[in-house]
Amino acid sequence: MPLVPPYIESLEPYRPGKPIAELQKELGLTSVVKLASNENPLGPSPFAREALCRHVAELHRYPNGGLDLRELLASKFNVKVGNVIAGSGSEGIMSSIIRTFLCDDDEVLTSEGTFVGFYVLARSRGIRLVQVPLRDYRFDLEAVARAITERTKIIYLANPNNPTGTIFTTREFDAFMKSVSSRVLIILDEAYFEYARENPRYPDSMQYRYDNVITLRTFSKIYGLAGIRIGYGFAHDLLISNLLKVKLPFEPSTLAQAAGIAALEDSEFLHRSLMVNAAGRRQLTAALEELGLHPVPSDANFLMVPCESEGVALCIYEALLHHGVIIRPLRAFGLPHCLRITIGTREQNLVLINAMRAVLETLTART
Ligand SMILES: Cc1ncc(COP(=O)(O)O)c(C=O)c1O
């Protein structure tokens, strides 16, 4: 018996967007703009910053497993505490889901071109991961439904989807749910739901309550708290009670929970973040189109740009690094010819646009 199971040995670890400090060191740059990890360009919610200072004095005590945040979310969303879980980011909860519900012969079903973190987690369990193709860069829910087998245990859906920024509509989701047996668990990853909820075609999963759906949300995106690791989920109490048996007992940390609770009350920050994002999305879309690119219409805080080939995408990515701009190439997401650009502040977007213009001019001059 090998020490390391073959499915771990062959696993490609999750590679996050290139850190600013790494690029500065590599290329000796002083000024770097990172638009690679869908972070909030305004920084953390000010309420959360203040809460962090207040809770430092409690750090000798163990955390309470997210109970305070669960209670607050339960009252906000009018559900029971037993329907809510909090964890170390939504990925922390996803990891608990993988450990709680899967047996060796089960299959996990999702799409190509969705969140790479989920692929890595599913593969780390050594089960079969089935991926159906996207259709026009959108989840093809009909194809997902057709791919269900007797062994399908979990279906992962991201809405809005990362990295495409696209949504599936209420109509598509309703039809999908009618065709899925209640013995299949659906993970509905709504990491970017705040950016999409004003879209009348967007199915906010909290307006439904299916017993086999787990909704996942996060403080990492619009609340600007990616670094502290706090996320939450809603589901039937039977699912939550089993998840709580498996979740690490002291996840989330005291500071993560305090930051999340404070951020939830920071409606001014939420509003400002939405406004900056909407303006930035318009600014970037128009500028990229003017440069001859075709960003996919997005309901999130990033834009995906398909290129002619993987070679061209990588060339643009590398050249932008030399201009001090980090974006994300998407091979690991199954979209090697695409690039993903996080929407920044107006000034950051301008840096990206000017750098992109210079890079494309050099590329055209070369060919
Ligand atoms: C669709 C999706 N789900 C989950 C996550 C992870 O979020 P968290 O920081 O809450 O673990 C991300 C982060 O990029 C994401 O894009």
Q: Is the CB of 220 under 6 A from ligand 1?
A: yes
Establish whether residue 91 lines the binding site of ligand 1, counting it when its CB lies within 6 angstroms of any ligand atom: yes
Q: What percent of the chain has pLDDT over 90?
A: 92
pLDDT, tens digit (0-9, with 9 covering 90-100), for 64-99 = 999 999 999 999 999 999 999 999 999 999 999 999
The ligand 1 atom at the shortest distance from the C-alpha of residue 192 is 1
- The minimum-distance atom of ligand 1 relative to the CA of 163 is 16
- What is the chain's mean pLDDT, rounded? 96
Q: How far apart are the first and last CA of the chain?
A: 53
Q: Give buried/exposed letters for 322-334 (b at 16+ CB in 10 A, else e).
A: ebbbbbbbbebbb
Outline where DSSP puts E strands in the chain.
33-34, 84-87, 107-111, 128-132, 152-158, 185-189, 213-218, 231-234, 302-306, 325-326, 328-329, 338-342
Q: Residue 364 C-alpha to ligand 1 middle, in angstroms?
A: 35
Burial (Cβ within 10 Å: 0-12, 13-18, ≥19) of residue 152: buried
Q: Closest ligand 1 atom, CA of 92?
A: 11
pLDDT digits (tens, 9 = 90+) for 13-43: 888 888 998 989 888 898 999 999 999 999 9
For 93-112, what is the mean pLDDT? 97
For residue 223, the 8-state DSSP code is T
**Pocket flag, ligand 1, residue 189 (CB < 6 Å):** yes
Q: Which residues pair with 157 in a beta bridge?
A: 188
